[in-house]
Amino acid sequence: MPDAPLPPAPPAHFNFAQHLIALNAHRPQKIAYIDDAGTLSYSELAERQRRLAAGLLALGLRREERVLLLMHDSSDWAVSFLGALYAGIVPVAVNTLLTADDYAYMLQHSRAQAVLVSGALLPTLHQALAQGGHEVRQLIVSRPAGEKSDQDLGLEARNIETLIAQHAPLGSCAPTAGDDPAFWLYSSGSTGRPKGTAHTHANPYWTAELYGKPILGLSENDICFSAAKLFFAYGLGNALSFPLSVGATVVLMAERPTPDAVFKRWTEQKPTVFFGAPTGFAGMLASPKLPGPEQVALRLCSSAGEALPAELGERFTRHFGVEIIDGIGSTEMLHIYLSNRPGQVRYGTTGWPVPGYEIELRGEDGQGVPEGEPGDLYIQGPSAALMYWGNREKSRDTFQGAWTKSGDKYVRNADGSYTYSGRSDDMLKVSGIYVSPFEVEATLVQHAAVLEAAVIGMVDEEGLTKTKAFVVLKAGQLVDEAGLKAFVKERLAPYKYPRAIEFIDELPKTATGKIQRFKLRERQAATL
């Protein structure tokens, strides 16, 4: 089936927040958000973001100044993000699971002039501000009814509800262009300080037009629910750009996406599209409280963050009768550019290029690699970020002309799909042949007793690199090292099986759920 023609580029004068208001003007009473506090209609969303935009400008914030957005998922998050965009102010959306040191760095690095913050996160923010690296001019707090004030923290803060109520809606949006800076997202920082990734007003338009509508097939009849939070690039598309571009309804929750919390929303709010990650899907399938297919209304699931093991996808589909379309995206490209598609799912692969994006696999010499051989993944597409703020060296390494270097290795298959081979810096050379840690991990998790696995290289007594696996077992399950080694040998080439296996309680991960193999390498080095 041929791909549909690409959508038109946004007009020269383009403000993404105003774009969403215009798209939904004919459905004022339709519910846009359901959060822990209640519901918000599309007309209420438009009015609140325009009132907040006026309030931010009245506080003296100016166009293109940055404001830190440190909030748990709620309709106030969406109002804050879109209100800033509407005013031409740049929200810097940050992870709510970080430390005070992380926020102190981000405040200083972004030079944020204000912070929009959830009340529950004020103590951590207070610690960050107390470090004295950067002083903000305004503090705006979102707090649930009944939550205590912040007076004991010694902070002069404005309540977002008061700020919104005090100002009439801003008459017109900032006269931004599609290429103007719109917002920042920080990379996960798994190998060092996080990088401030600057995106434009046009970028979320492109991800919605190229992926949300044609690949996911979202419509106003959908109810979307994302385990990935709004501060992630993945979550921002899932719970804001995509659903608001078609008039769908979004379910938000402030708490962590544990299996129980997800199941509660699945069975009560009845989302039709769910966005998760492999770790979450594994945890849900292992839960004794997994609901039956008759208890949910899912029509489609999406997975990103790390490659989805085939066994997980197949088990989920057998249970629910619903496909998980695995894809890969990045903070730098804003969302997914390589993906399986509904009705065209090949579990164990990341699917095919999303129309509108070009993919190249390159070897160490920068030239293309033959089909079936691993190569570094490069992407060309309209949603690429402008740069990493204040980091010329990393910007030039990642954003190479029209191409973006992903840092991942992939193999192109005969049917045009792509299979993940691991991060470029995680690949192992065993017996002179490259081994993908992910391939070994995906095989280990096929064992009935294994919940998760991570593979690194270790140097043996002869100075040769061999594979070592760190394995987390499911509750109540047992298997020994010899049994797991035999299991892998039956399924992979002999040189790929892990020469050592260490059983641990949990794997080290970033806040986005990605395995931090460098910490496992440090753990291994400490034992030598």
pLDDT digits (tens, 9 = 90+) for 342-358: 999 999 999 999 999 99
Model pLDDT, residue 243: 98
Model pLDDT, residue 190: 45
Model pLDDT, residue 55: 98
Kind of pairing, strands 249-251 and 31-34?
Answer: parallel
pTM for this entry = 0.84
The amino acid sitting at 523 is R
Q: How far apart are CA 342 and CA 346, in angstroms?
A: 10
Instruction: Count Cβ atoms below 10 Å from residue 413 Cβ, excluding itself.
Output: 15
Q: In which residue ranges of the chain is pLDDT below 50?
A: 1, 152, 190-191
Element (H, E) at 473: strand 465-473
Q: Which of 83, 284, 60 is nearest to 164 (CA)?
A: 83
Instruction: Count Cβ atoms below 10 Å from residue 345 Cβ, excluding itself.
Output: 18
Say which DSSP state 113 is in: S
| Dihedral sign for Cα atoms in the order 394, 395, 401, 403 | positive
Model pLDDT, residue 1: 47
| Dihedral sign for Cα atoms in the order 80, 86, 88, 93 | positive
Distance of CA 188 to the CA centre of its chain: 10
Element (H, E) at 355: none
Kind of pairing, strands 358-362 and 375-380?
Answer: antiparallel
Task: State the first-to-last Cα distance of the chain, in angstroms, to the nearest integer.
Answer: 55
Query: 195-216: string of b/e by CB count within 10 Å (b at 16+)?
Result: bbbbbbbbbbbbbbbbbbbbbb
Q: Is 392 exposed, middle or buried (0-12, 13-18, 19+ CB in 10 A)?
A: exposed
DSSP-assigned beta bridge partners for residue 409: 376, 422
Instruction: Count Cβ atoms below 10 Å from residue 486 Cβ, excluding itself.
Output: 11
Query: 33-63: string of b/e by CB count within 10 Å (b at 16+)?
Result: bbbeeeebbbbbbbbbbbbbbbbbbebebee
Q: How far apart are CA 290 and CA 302, in angstroms?
A: 18
Residue 459 near residue 499, CB atoms below 8 Å: no
Distance of CA 396 to the CA centre of its chain: 23
Model pLDDT, residue 2: 55
Q: Which of helix, strand or coil describes residue 504?
A: coil
